[in-house]
Structure 1
Amino acid sequence: MIDRDLTSRLRKLAGQFPSVTLTGPRQSGKSTLCRAIFPKYAYANLEAPDLRSFAQDDPRAFLAQFDDGVILDEIQRVPELTSYIQSIIDEHPQPGRWVLTGSQNLALLESVNQSLAGRTAVLHLLPLARSEAIRFPRFPETLDESILTGGYPRIFDQQLDAGEWLASYIATYIERDVRLITNVGDLTTFQRFVELCAGRTSQLLNFSRLSNDCGIAQPTAKAWFSVLEASFIAFRLPSFSSNIRKRLVKMPKLHFYDTGLACRLLGIRTTEQLRSHPLRGALFESWVVSEIAKHRINAGETGGLYHYRDQNGVEADLIIEHADRLSLVEAKAAQTANSGLLEGVRRVREVIEQVRPCKAYVAYGGETGQKRSDVELVPWLNLHTQQWA
């Protein structure tokens, strides 16, 4: 397994806090990373029925086994353990003894925030960023391959067929994980809902239209989307707001963390299909936004990302908030650099610079960078080399 970008930060925080909690989607590499960083720690996977039963029936005896450090995998399966860990930490607060992982954000963080506030550092491990994918001996070398393959580590580590693996992942997620997170009675309709969300990646998140198209009530659509967020499948990108004298669209945008997963849900099986697909541009935008989100999350930045759109249709796909400025990013899947790619982000920059200094970028599908006086063209394969955090 390759080094993950989160490695140094995880090590650092384990040296400062009694506990570290690592969340992320299933199969993002949480267990592999923790076992590589803490090879001498005991390991207990609470998915195993016998271990889970032991932890539930006699939590004190279960935890007493681990004097010298332990990785407790899928801790959300026995959330009451965090209360017992709290009392142990308060008596023996040595750093790095407890390493907790889980793949359901809401369930895990609720128990962690109640019991371990101030005692644990919380980190998120998402599917591979391109900076990580290129560390494998074989990795996607073209843009369409990168979008189609996505970033789940097992695909790269075992050189699996991405389409087949992702199909299995979707089936397992729908049939198993959803039941653990919430009471979804109609799994067929839920799968249809997930597919409709994939078809709306990079679009405004309109729950009214989404619920109508799926044939469900709007509160159900909101609850089901929260399930996708809790399991790190999709996320909402909030709209930018400031004292700009413009009427701004306030709806968030919908994005998938993994474009390979979105492609599979859309029925896109080959790069040839993707190349001519009407949603290729939207998928590229989600790829760019998720790459930058991963870069920032790995560096410890969990917020500060927005989209901009006003009532006149002027928009920027991504606004990144830094301490002293903003960065504007427009995603264009076109392979050829031309002035037409720069028009949109230039219009937004003119507006934003009235209130905040900003830099403008266009991430595009070509392979040659250009630094112009007011906009930098960033080729897709060099996106990870920029300092977005």
Structure 2
Amino acid sequence: MPAVALLGPRQVGKTTLALEVAESRPSIYLDLESAADRAKLAEPELYLSQHADKLVILDEIQRTPELFQSLRGLIDAGRHGGQGKQKGFPKKSGRFLILGSASVDLLKQSSETLAGRIRYLELAPLDAGEVPRDQLDALWLRGGFPDSLLANSNAASLRWRGDFIRTYLERDIPQLGPRIPAETLRRFWTMLSHQQGSLLNAASLARALAVDGKTVAAYLDLLVDLLLVRRLAPWHGNVRKRLVKSPKVYVRDSGLVHALLGIDDHEALLGHPVAGGSWEGLAIESLIGAAPPGTEAYFFRTSAGAEIDLLLKRPGEHKPWAIEIKRGLSPKLERGFYLACDTINPQHRRVVYSGSERFPLSENVEAVALPDLCEELAST
């Protein structure tokens, strides 16, 4: 087990997680946005060596990336018989829990400095496999950020998401390095929300923003690296078909989609053109989150119209799961799904829909509720 774990992104309930971890063993929590806590680490080796018998939780590590060098020395000293033995503390593993934003530079620096000493865990928003089934509609509307999902009202939830978007654009992203005008990045993020689940059309986005294609690619790379946008790759298997080569793009949290588009309640959501793409995005994030680590995710589309919304190839399996996503209680499959399945010959064929019962749609194809398919992917 690695000596250090890095969890991200910054905004998803990290303090709650840290407190839960702290309850399970002796620990000390340092918030590196606090001047007082940063002052304690003026001599990091001296201070941290005094707490070698505890789990040290370092929150907002992106504020002090220079700590990585000190952590490397302390970890190596513990591995070779230095600090860490007292009070039965396991000197070789689990000594530091590091929480921070998924900054590209931070991830690069931590991987270079702590190679072989660190394990990365992505802390994503809550998904359909993690909330009670009676909260699925609220999850869809409000998204999976805990403070948004559990707000007292839809209006309070929308205010939280609006504040989050503004803070992230105006404070957090500039602190991570990129110097992009906040309003420009917000416009780009909003454009992606309007096109939720569509094929990436970089030229169209570039024209709308009055920038070139390379700039659009840089903006997209940034949002993908910050775990705010998913770029779903097209299937690239060896099939004798003309496959679509452009990726599909999703804003990963449905609540942020709705906040960026000004959708404030279920009635407005159900009447908005983005409803189908928004539901599809929630389902995709939930299913990928439920699948075992190392699962590969794709979509399938040919120029002739054969299409599957999501292909999941789990570790050790030679054939993918073919998953079509439908919003509504009476899912109907188009001919393109069957044509795509004939080409790929998937291991399982599932249709996610908005109902709660499981039933066959045709031979080898089952309609399944989203939480049930999350459980199936996680357990089989």
Q: TM-score range by the shorter chain?
A: 0.7 to 0.9
Percent identity over paired residues: 29
Correspondence 1:288 to 2:272: no
When Rg is computed on C-alpha atoms for both structures, the one with the higher figure is: 2
Cα 1:186/1:18, change in 2 over 3 Å:
closer
CA offsets, 1:297-327, max 9 Å, x none? xx433x5001111111211111101222210
Number of equivalences: 359
- The one of 147, 165, 168 equivalent to 2:163 is 168
1:44: which partner in 2? 30
Structure 2 unaligned segments of length 5 or more: list them.
80-90
Cα 1:264/1:227, change in 2 over 3 Å:
same
1:126: which partner in 2? 124
- Compute the displacement of 1:183 (Å): 3.2
CA offsets, 1:256-283, max 9 Å, x none? 2210111111121111111111111111
2:66: which partner in 1? 80
- The one of 345, 357, 363 equivalent to 1:368 is 357
Given that residues 62 and 176 in structure 2 are in contact (C-alpha distance below 8 angstroms), is that contact kept between their aligned partners in structure 1? no
> Distance between the aligned counterparts of 2:180 and 2:142, measured in 1?
31
- The one of 196, 203, 210 equivalent to 2:198 is 203
Given that residues 128 and 370 in structure 2 are in contact (C-alpha distance below 8 angstroms), is that contact kept between their aligned partners in structure 1? no
2:14: which partner in 1? 30
1:219: which partner in 2? 214
> Distance between the aligned counterparts of 2:118 and 2:180, measured in 1?
35
1:312: which partner in 2? 304
2:106: which partner in 1? 108
CA offsets, 1:330-387, max 9 Å, x none? 11113213xx32533222110002xxx4211111123322134221111235343221
CA offsets, 1:125-147, max 9 Å, x none? 10012232229xxx6353xx332
Cα 1:42/1:174, change in 2 over 3 Å:
same
- Compute the displacement of 1:224 (Å): 1.6
Given that residues 240 and 308 in structure 1 are in contact (C-alpha distance below 8 angstroms), is that contact kept between their aligned partners in structure 2? yes
- The one of 302, 318, 340 equivalent to 1:348 is 340
Given that residues 369 and 378 in structure 1 are in contact (C-alpha distance below 8 angstroms), is that contact kept between their aligned partners in structure 2? yes
| SS class of match (1:133) | coil
Cα 1:127/1:158, change in 2 over 3 Å:
same
Structure 1 unaligned segments of length 5 or more: list them.
1-15
Correspondence 1:183 to 2:178: yes
2:84: which partner in 1? none
- Compute the displacement of 1:158 (Å): 5.2
1:334: which partner in 2? 328
> Distance between the aligned counterparts of 1:166 and 1:316, measured in 2?
31
Given that residues 19 and 97 in structure 1 are in contact (C-alpha distance below 8 angstroms), is that contact kept between their aligned partners in structure 2? yes
- Compute the displacement of 1:100 (Å): 0.7
2:83: which partner in 1? none
> Distance between the aligned counterparts of 2:221 and 2:18, measured in 1?
27
What letter corresponds to residue 45 of structure 1 in structure 2? D
2:82: which partner in 1? none
- Compute the displacement of 1:388 (Å): 5.1
Correspondence 1:377 to 2:367: yes
- Compute the displacement of 1:157 (Å): 4.5
> Distance between the aligned counterparts of 2:50 and 2:229, measured in 1?
38
Task: Report matched runs for 1:244-323 at 5 Å.
Answer: 244-296=239-291, 299-301=292-294, 303-322=295-314, 323=316
Cα 1:24/1:43, change in 2 over 3 Å:
same
Given that residues 181 and 227 in structure 1 are in contact (C-alpha distance below 8 angstroms), is that contact kept between their aligned partners in structure 2? no
Which stretch of the first structure deviates more once superposed, 210-219 or 377-386? 377-386
- Compute the displacement of 1:185 (Å): 4.2
1:235: which partner in 2? 230
> Distance between the aligned counterparts of 2:334 and 2:21, measured in 1?
44
Given that residues 327 and 353 in structure 2 are in contact (C-alpha distance below 8 angstroms), is that contact kept between their aligned partners in structure 1? yes
> Distance between the aligned counterparts of 2:283 and 2:264, measured in 1?
21
Cα 1:380/1:132, change in 2 over 3 Å:
closer
- Compute the displacement of 1:25 (Å): 4.4
- Compute the displacement of 1:96 (Å): 0.8
Given that residues 140 and 149 in structure 1 are in contact (C-alpha distance below 8 angstroms), is that contact kept between their aligned partners in structure 2? no
